[in-house]
């Protein structure tokens, strides 16, 4: 099936690389106009150039630090100015710190909360007025399996990913009357630059503990995000889509 996002405008955070990049590529392929938003200017500009060379390319880049309200204001205004409206928000930007409860410093805790948790709240706060003007839309918040289960490390990461899960559900209730759906996605271990610093043996251990004994690919998550973003998911809100090769099934 193609054209699953025909006529839609999407803002994707953390879209310079990894899963956000895979989302941007798939969304353009499916007919969306995409605002690539990230801190990495050079990588994002390169991606946007490439997307615009494709047959269906309608992409622009906005420098957006998800912790800054003024950046959000500029990005949302840019989407409306360049593409006419905003229907889809993918809150994908996130950072990982492996430190456990005792090792996490106060400043590191705050940094992870600011990006992973505050960033998702601020994104919805700043984008919803534009989505309301567009007549409604879909928000997809990228959490993690570590928003559902523990692992014995990455304390701040777990805390923020769990917070995203429940924030998603209350936002779903708040925004249903204005025709905006809000869902969370919970990937298992996916091969992206985020997991490169993690020791190979640890990655192998996680991958082999899933029913499907390998790491996931960014596109395999992007197809789930696409479904939730599209009108095909018109009766789905406040839900959590786990894409983890069956890791949490066992
Ligand atoms: P990645 O590190 O490859 O990409 C993350 C992107 O977010 C980068 O382009 C980075 O520049 C951007 N970013 C970081 N801080 C930002 C900020 N303050 N403002 C704007 N952009 C910012 O990571 P990824 O693996 O593609 O992860 C994407 C999302 O998926 C994250 O929320 C991550 O927590 C989540 N996730 C990843 C995995 C995995 O195994 N890779 C598993 C579960 C969930």
Q: What are phi and psi of 62, to 5 degrees?
A: -125, 125
Q: Residue 38's beta-bridge partner residues?
A: 63
What integer pLDDT is reported at residue 112 of this predicted model? Answer: 98
Is 189 near ligand 1, meaning CB less than 6 Å away? yes
Angle at 71 between CA 79 and CA 106, to 5 degrees: 140
Closest listed residue to residue 85, CA positions, set 2, 15, 11, 177:
11
3-state secondary structure of 69: helix
Confidence band, pLDDT 50/70/90 cuts, at residue 2: confident
What integer pLDDT is reported at residue 1 of this predicted model? Answer: 55
Is 228 near ligand 1, meaning CB less than 6 Å away? no
Q: What's the token pair of residue 94?
A: 């996130």
What integer pLDDT is reported at residue 227 of this predicted model? Answer: 98
Show me where the domains of the chain are located: 9-244
Q: Is there a catalytic annotation at residue 157?
A: yes
- Find the catalytic residue in 61, 146, 157, 247: 157
Closest listed residue to residue 4, CA positions, set 22, 25, 37, 29:
29
CATH topology of domain 9-244: Rossmann fold (3.40.50)
Q: Is the dihedral of CA 131, 139, 91, 118 positive or negative?
A: positive
DSSP 232-244: GGTT--S-EEEES
What integer pLDDT is reported at residue 59 of this predicted model? Answer: 98
Confidence band, pLDDT 50/70/90 cuts, at residue 30: very high
Dist. CA 95 → ligand 1 center (Å)? 6
| pLDDT tens per residue, range 45-101 | 999 999 999 988 999 999 999 999 999 999 999 999 999 999 999 999 999 999 999
Better pLDDT: 1 or 199: 199
Is 220 near ligand 1, meaning CB less than 6 Å away? no
- Taking the model in full, what pTM does it have? 0.99
Percent of the chain with pLDDT over 70: 100
Looking at residues 219-226, what average pLDDT do you find? 98
Is 164 near ligand 1, meaning CB less than 6 Å away? no
Distance CA 32, CA 5 (A): 5
What integer pLDDT is reported at residue 56 of this predicted model? Answer: 84
Q: Residue 22's beta-bridge partner residues?
A: none
């Amino acid at each position: 099936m193609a054209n699953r996002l025909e006529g839609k405008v999407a803002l994707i955070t953390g879209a310079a690389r990894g899963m956000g990049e895979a989302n941007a590529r798939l969304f353009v392929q499916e007919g969306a106009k995409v605002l690539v938003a990230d801190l990495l200017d050079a990588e994002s500009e390169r991606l946007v150039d490439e997307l615009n060379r494709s047959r269906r390319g309608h992409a622009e880049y906005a420098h957006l630090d998800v912790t800054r309200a003024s950046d959000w204001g500029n990005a949302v205004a840019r989407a409306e100015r360049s593409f006419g409206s905003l229907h889809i928000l993918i809150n994908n930007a996130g950072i990982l710190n492996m430190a456990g409860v005792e090792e996490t410093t106060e400043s590191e805790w705050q940094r992870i909360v600011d990006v992973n948790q505050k960033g998702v709240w601020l994104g919805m706060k700043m984008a919803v007025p534009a989505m309301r003007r567009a007549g409604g839309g879909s928000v997809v918040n990228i959490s993690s399996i570590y928003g559902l289960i523990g692992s014995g490390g990455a304390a701040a990461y777990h805390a923020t990913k769990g917070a995203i899960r429940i924030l998603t559900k209350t936002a779903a209730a708040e925004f249903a009357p204005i025709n905006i759906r809000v869902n969370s996605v919970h990937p298992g271990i996916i091969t992206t630059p985020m997991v490169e610093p993690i020791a190979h043996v640890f990655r192998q251990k996680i991958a082999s503990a899933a029913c499907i004994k390998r790491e996931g690919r960014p596109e395999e998550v992007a197809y789930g995000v696409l479904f939730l973003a599209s009108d095909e998911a018109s009766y789905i809100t406040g839900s959590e889509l786990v894409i983890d090769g069956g890791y949490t099934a066992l």
